[in-house]
Amino acid sequence: MKKPAKLDIDGKEYELPTVVGTEGEKGVDVSSLRAQSQCITLDEGYANTGSCKSAITYIDGERGILRYRGIPIEELAEKSSFVETAYLLIYGELPTRAQFRDFSNSLTENENLHEDMKYHFEGFPYTAHPMAILSSMINASSCFYPGLMGTRDSQRFDVQASRLISQVRTIAAFSYRKSRGLPIIYPKPLYKYTENFLHMMFSDVYLDYELKPEVVRALDTIFILHADHEQNCSTSTVRMVASSQANLFASAAAGVCALWGPLHGGANQAVISMLEDIHESGDDGSRFIAAAKDKKSSKRLMGFGHRVYKNYDPRARIIKKVCDRLLNSLNISDPLLDIAKKMEETALNDDYFVERKLYPNVDFYSGIIMRAIGIPTEMFTVIFAIGRMPGWISNYKEVVDNPRSRIYRPRQIYVGEKERHYVPVDERTAKVKKSR
Ligand code: ACO
């Protein structure tokens, strides 16, 4: 696609440059359209809008392909570790031994929170959702390291990035301990990343949690599979905030808030609630599937469907295998897994789901693995946030390293009142009904 695209508006023709990505993705660059024609493009929900050029993650939703920096997710899930994958995403290449050692050491050096941050945990009620605590505490961290907050200095960026990757895990574990009224467990420098998270979550003060390699590997794989996913809702949020030159911690905290919703990261929690309800009601999943297809019902088959994948989510394929392997090795039989598998089979053979290309996404089986590990449901989205942190950081870096980067500022088509005049309070009649 070398020739410019042509657009006819009200009989006048405009030429717009075209763009082709390294994998042949085609786009029309509309950035000059308004200046030429006074018209903007309207794309509610951004389903057809490329917000940036990015060299981090490639997805082909039709063919079910996901690659980080060109490397297929299947290879990373099998051969890499979360820490190595984080390095790959942020710096663009797999690390040498020396680079990996330096990066790991930097994560260890930065794993402890500033001691005064502990007092902030006291202010949250026991009922606080861990995602609320996580976003608040990530944002609060920036107050403790004001000297690090410059955005364009690569050495400071390296320390900030390590601190954030390392501390998101510490904050997450502390918020869990707080919600259960348990004493805080500090990280152990000798443990690797995922081991340390499990230790901080589940050890007692006088008895260390027994680290089983298959559990560590399963959780590490979950982190790898969630590490990036190009311009999804939370990553776009991080880039949006970064574009205003807000610091890395503020940008990542915003990403956590976006991830919290049930249509995004909150889906893994919603999947387990759905499966539990189905199990408790004695349904085998078929009644729920019928309700999910009924347009009068607000139910959706959680863990199914994806904005980009119109084929099986490659992460779901990997996670299903990890789930089977883990439950077998721990000798766990979970009725929710049986229901999930039956529902998947039914949905994949049902015209409603087939026609709409709705396949299981990464969240469909991840919750069952986390349940088996003993991670409580309200922590599921937090696990997603820990995994997604390297992706947010690499996208943040791409924004601030780009000398042509501009503040993100979409436009709109205004559909409100035309100009009208202020009415004094005594002359007004109530037009808005307030819900009680
Ligand atoms: N169950 C039943 N119907 C569904 C589902 C579902 N899970 N997902 C989509 N549909 C239907 C819609 O009702 C719509 O039907 P229609 O054309 O008859 O109106 C059609 O499929 C298209 O759906 P949209 O909502 O337009 O698709 P969109 O791309 O906007 O949404 C989303 C994608 C949000 C993931 C959606 O599929 C969904 O809500 N899934 C369940 C929640 C979920 O699992 N989210 C996790 C996403 S992955 C992640 O964030 C890691």
| Vertex 65: Cα angle to 262 and 243 (nearest 5) | 60
Give CA–CA dist 201/235, Å, rounded. Answer: 27
CA distance 380 to 384: 7
Nearest atom within ligand 1 for CA of residue 264: 50
Closest Cα to atom 9 of ligand 1: 305
**In which element (H, E) is residue 222 found?**
helix 213-226
Q: Please report which residue ranges of 18-117 form alpha helices under DSSP H.
A: 33-37, 73-79, 82-91, 97-109
Q: Which residue owns the Cα nearest ligand 1 atom 11?
A: 356
State the average pLDDT over residues 218-243.
97
Task: Give residue 213's pLDDT.
Answer: 96
Residues 410, 404: Cα–Cα separation, whole Å: 17
Residue pair 158/136 in contact by the 8 Å Cβ criterion: no
Distance CA 45, CA 232 (A): 11
- Averaged pLDDT, 257-264: 92
Per-residue model confidence (pLDDT) at position 186: 94
**Candidate from 288, 356, 359 with most ligand 1 atoms within 8 A of CB, to mutate:** 356
CA-nearest residue for atom 50, ligand 1, is: 264
Helix (H, G, I), strand (E, B) or coil at 308: coil
The pLDDT score that the predictor gives to residue 435 is: 65
Quick one: average pLDDT of 229-235?
97
Question: Which atom of ligand 1 is nearest to 303's Cα?
Answer: 44
Give me the mean pLDDT over the 219-233 stretch.
97
Q: How far is the CA of 300 from the centre of ligand 1 (A)?
A: 7
pLDDT band at 312 (very low <50, low <70, confident <90, very high): confident
Pull the structure tokens for residue 32.
């000059």
Dihedral, 81, 87, 93, 96 alpha carbons, nearest 10: -70
Ligand 1 centroid from CA 292, angstroms: 10
- Given a contact cutoff of 8 angstroms between Cβ atoms, the answer to whether 130 and 179 are in contact is yes
**Residue 148's pLDDT is what?**
63
The average pLDDT across 362-375 equals 92
Closest of 242, 244, 245, 220 to residue 231, by C-alpha:
242
pLDDT band at 118 (very low <50, low <70, confident <90, very high): confident
Do the Cβ atoms of 133 and 175 come closer than 8 Å?
yes
Protein residue with its CA nearest to atom 15 in ligand 1: 356
> Would you say the C-alpha torsion 15, 21, 27, 31 has a positive or negative sign?
negative
- The ligand 1 site (C-beta within 6 Å) comprises 263-265, 267, 292, 300-307, 356, 358, 361-363
pLDDT at 144: 87
Is residue 89 a contact partner of residue 248, using CB atoms and an 8 Å limit? no
pLDDT of residue 1 exceeding 90? no
Q: Which residues have a catalytic role annotated?
A: 306, 363
Contact between 78 and 86 (Cβ < 8 Å) = no
User: What is each CA distance from 323 to 47, 203, 329, 366, in whole angstroms?
Assistant: 31, 23, 10, 7
Ligand 1 center–CA 359 separation, angstroms: 10
* Spatial CA neighbour of 307 closest among 370, 235, 241: 235
C-alpha pair distances (Å), 434 with each of 222, 241, 364: 44, 33, 38
Distance CA 137, CA 5 (A): 47
Mutation probe of ligand 1 site: the residue of 269, 288, 304 with most atoms within 8 A of C-beta: 304
Query: What is the average pLDDT value for the chain, to the nearest integer?
Result: 93
Q: What is the mean pLDDT of residues 276-290?
A: 92
Q: Report CA torsion sign: 49, 228, 356, 75.
A: positive
Contacts 24+ apart (CB under 8 A), 28-37: 33/7, 34/411, 37/7, 37/9, 37/12
Phi-psi region of 361 (alpha: psi -120 to 50; beta: other; left: phi over 0): beta
SS3 (DSSP) at 68: strand
Closest Cα to atom 20 of ligand 1: 356
Q: What are the residues facing 13 on neighbouring strands?
A: 8
List pLDDT tens digits, range 314-328.
Answer: 999 999 999 999 999
Q: Pairing mode, if any, of strands 12-16 and 18-20?
A: unpaired
Return the residue whose CA atom lies nearest to atom 36 of ligand 1: 305
Q: Which of 221, 207, 301, 297 is nearest to 263 (CA)?
A: 301
Q: How far is the CA of 412 from the centre of ligand 1 (A)?
A: 25
Tell which atom from ligand 1 comes closest to the C-alpha of 356.
21
> So what's the pLDDT on residue 2?
75
Asked if residue 81 has pLDDT above 70, the reply is yes
Mean pLDDT of the region 58-65: 94
Q: Over pLDDT 70: what percentage of the chain?
A: 98
Q: Tokens 């042949």 correspond to what residue?
A: 24
Query: What would the pLDDT profile of 139-182 be if each residue is shown by its tens digit?
Result: 999 888 876 665 567 888 999 999 999 999 999 999 899 888 89
Residue 436 confidence class, pLDDT cut points 50, 70, 90? low
- What contacts 46, CB < 8 A, 6 or more positions away? 236
